[in-house]
Structure 1
Amino acid sequence: MAYARQHLESLYPGAVAIYLTGMGADSNPSPRGALLDAKRHGLELAGAVCGVLNRPLTPVRGPCKVAYTEVDLPLAEPPTREQLEKDAQSQDPHIRHRAAAYLQRLAEGKTMPGVRLPLAAVRLGDDLTFIAMGGEVVVDYATRFKRLFAADHPWLIGYAFEVPCYIPSARIIKEGGYEAESSLIYYGLYGPFRCRVEELLIQKMSELVASLR
């Protein structure tokens, strides 16, 4: 994104280019892996922005209204002490540290870690509504929110406020793999999330958006 910003700010002196990450945590640019790839993607993004700026723009008017909440996301039952003790002997330091943290909480009589996710909606008149969620939000939420809130002119933002982990959809959870399971190791969590997490988040965000209409 830095290369896109550099291009835009050089083309429009005095402007400040701001990038808001969307909801596409399970998507990757292609090609990727080299500095030249990043520069090419930055140039492509800057070109897309210039294309928009060279067309008639729609003004954003009206008062700013904000709604915010936090949602406790349902995780699977935590592992047994036996499993934690086994993981604490793992050769993988990430697995070992995660298990040690859970065992420490057990020893102190504390509940196991959970995920409380921040959600927000910001409405600017009838022209634009920002839909913001914490975490690395997968693309299925973008697809659903665009359809559900089409009349509200949504702009979707992931990675908002904080990033406790990937936020998978029911589809991703059923598929398993990195976003649903193994990535949680690096966030110090045992999972996966329960499939109802998607409908819970859709419901809560719908309530926020409706409260601003």
Structure 2
Amino acid sequence: MSAWIETTIRSLAVASTLVVLTVMPATCIADDDTKPPWRVGLANVQITPEEPIHMAGYASRKKPSEGVLADLYAKAMAIEDAAGQRAVLITADVIGFRVLLAETICHDITDKTGLKRHEILLCPSHTHTGPMMGMIDPVRYGLPPDGLARVHAYTKRLQRQIVDLAVRALADLKPAKLSWGIGTSNLVMNRREFTERGVELAVNPRGYADRSVPVLRVESPDGNLRAVVFGCACHNTTLTGEHYELSGDYAGFAQQHVQQEHPGVQAMFMIGCGGDANPYPRGTVEAARQHGRELGTEVCRVLSGELKPVGGPLRVEFDGVEAPLQPVPAREQVEQMAKGPSYIAYNGQRMLEALDNHQPLPTHHRVPVAVWQFGKDLTLVGLSGETVSEYVPLIEKAIGPRRLWIAGYCNDVFGYLPTAKILKEGGYETRGLFNEIGLFSVETEAAVVGKVRQLAQKAGRELPE
């Protein structure tokens, strides 16, 4: 081959390369620049009991449910960042996951998906018009054998449904963009009223409550809305023990409203730190529907406004803090507890049984804490138990108030999680553990807040001095 031909071929090759380089960057480079930092998968399933079932939430109920006011749902959202870090959020219209059920579900999910335990977050809506769940004490709740069998059968079915949800959500992963904002809610009312008889469950307009409504928008790369996650720090108790129709209460109606306004979108609810807050007003189906409409309308308003982008990477942390319990009181005090109001009598009776049988009583109780860190843009804290509202300013002080979403009731609803202040004041939220024995001590607050700070730092959140 002549030198002229070789030179010509090289020149044509260079020219072709230049043409490719001048044409391709507009597509290839732009594709890299605009590639969404997330992949999100969604799944949902109806979990309404198929037959009458004893309901959770109010000890005054003595018979099974009587019909369905609104269907119950469980929903899953799988998230994957650009590096392949995955996590699954599961929400459900149920009163709460106790640790045994929660860990069984998570174990089955890890077996089927390869996820690790810390990559799974379970969040109930805490509806008080849903079914009883778990391996409950039939004597305490007065259930007949057939009623107990239905509760156990429903729990097993729910367990399978939630595991399948996680599998389906992970199989549905698609490119997505995330953004978030915060609204406000007027339905939240502090319920700790100070009276001459002590702190009672009532209405306290001057009491602290977290009225924020955090909203996470999930959209496709072209901007189409796919899912919405939102929260409200309020007991899901518009409906009372006199109501026997199954429903998700205001939280269920709020999700329904968002989905009606945005057809095809999956709306998911995460209850906040509302252990000492009730909806106001309450007691009627119309009030529950109205609260749901108002909350759903606020979520839609936030969605239509200017939201802040949420980038990666995703860091997820999960651990338990051994929260200290109060020392066992003198026997005389325990006997008085056992004769007291129903909400404290159970703990007293269990303590007496343990003392009579010379059984050692626990000194600590494990309180799960989860933190999901979305780049530098958002920190999601998942506290467990019926977390009271005062944990919100305590955590804001510990890890900073900005770019922060605090949820309660996650992973294990073992009882109320009170602050030191509430423990000193007294009242319903100081009742202790539901099924185990023990009352939290004032040191619990510092232990929980300290664990949140530790996990937030580990996840990469910038902390205040």
Superposition TM-score, scaled by structure 2 size: 0.41
Gaps of 5+ in 2: 1-250, 461-465
Q: Distance in 2 between matches of 1:117 and 1:185?
A: 11
Measured on the aligned residues, the alpha-carbon RMSD in Å equals 2.5
| Residues 10-42 of structure 1 deviation map (CA, whole Å, 9 limit, x = unaligned) | 111111110101112111121111111111100
Counterpart residue identity of residue 432, structure 2: L
Aligned with 2:450 (options 195, 203, 206)? 203
Corresponding residue of 1:3: 253
2:325–2:362 CA contact under 8 A, matched in 1:
no
- SS of the residue aligned with 2:373? strand
Counterparts in 2 of 1:51 and 1:86: CA distance versus 1, 3 Å: closer
Counterparts in 2 of 1:96 and 1:151: CA distance versus 1, 3 Å: closer
2:312–2:375 CA contact under 8 A, matched in 1:
yes
Corresponding residue of 1:141: 391
| Residues 78-97 of structure 1 deviation map (CA, whole Å, 9 limit, x = unaligned) | 13455556766x48776665
1:78–1:112 CA contact under 8 A, matched in 2:
no
Corresponding residue of 1:102: 351
Counterpart residue identity of residue 278, structure 2: N
1:79–1:190 CA contact under 8 A, matched in 2:
no
2:343–2:428 CA contact under 8 A, matched in 1:
no
1:94–1:185 CA contact under 8 A, matched in 2:
no
Counterparts in 2 of 1:202 and 1:91: CA distance versus 1, 3 Å: closer
Report the alpha carbon displacement of residue 149 of structure 1 after superposing the two structures with TM. 3.1
1:24–1:142 CA contact under 8 A, matched in 2:
no
Written as runs of structure 1 = structure 2, the 5 A alignment for 1:74-153 is 74-81=324-331, 84=334, 90=339, 97-106=346-355, 107=357, 109-112=359-362, 114-150=364-400, 153=403
Counterpart residue identity of residue 350, structure 2: A
1:8–1:46 CA contact under 8 A, matched in 2:
yes
1:115–1:164 CA contact under 8 A, matched in 2:
no
- SS of the residue aligned with 1:53? helix
Written as runs of structure 1 = structure 2, the 5 A alignment for 1:149-164 is 149-150=399-400, 153-164=403-414
Counterpart residue identity of residue 296, structure 2: A
- Select between 108-117 and 150-159 the one with higher mean Cα deviation: 108-117
- SS of the residue aligned with 1:171? helix
Aligned with 1:18 (options 250, 268, 271)? 268
Gaps of 5+ in 1: none
- Which has the higher Rg, Structure 1 or Structure 2? 2
Counterparts in 2 of 1:95 and 1:27: CA distance versus 1, 3 Å: closer
- SS of the residue aligned with 2:390? helix
Report the alpha carbon displacement of residue 185 of structure 1 after superposing the two structures with TM. 7.4
Percent sequence identity over matched residues? 33
Counterparts in 2 of 1:87 and 1:198: CA distance versus 1, 3 Å: closer
Q: Distance in 2 between matches of 1:121 and 1:142?
A: 14
Superposition TM-score, scaled by structure 1 size: 0.85
Corresponding residue of 2:286: 36
1:4–1:45 CA contact under 8 A, matched in 2:
yes
1:68–1:119 CA contact under 8 A, matched in 2:
yes
Q: Distance in 1 between matches of 2:394 and 2:335?
A: 41
Q: Distance in 1 between matches of 2:263 and 2:319?
A: 38
Aligned with 2:421 (options 152, 156, 171)? 171
Written as runs of structure 1 = structure 2, the 5 A alignment for 1:49-68 is 49-68=299-318
Counterpart residue identity of residue 385, structure 2: G
Report the alpha carbon displacement of residue 70 of structure 1 after superposing the two structures with TM. 0.8
Q: Higher helix proportion, which one?
A: 1
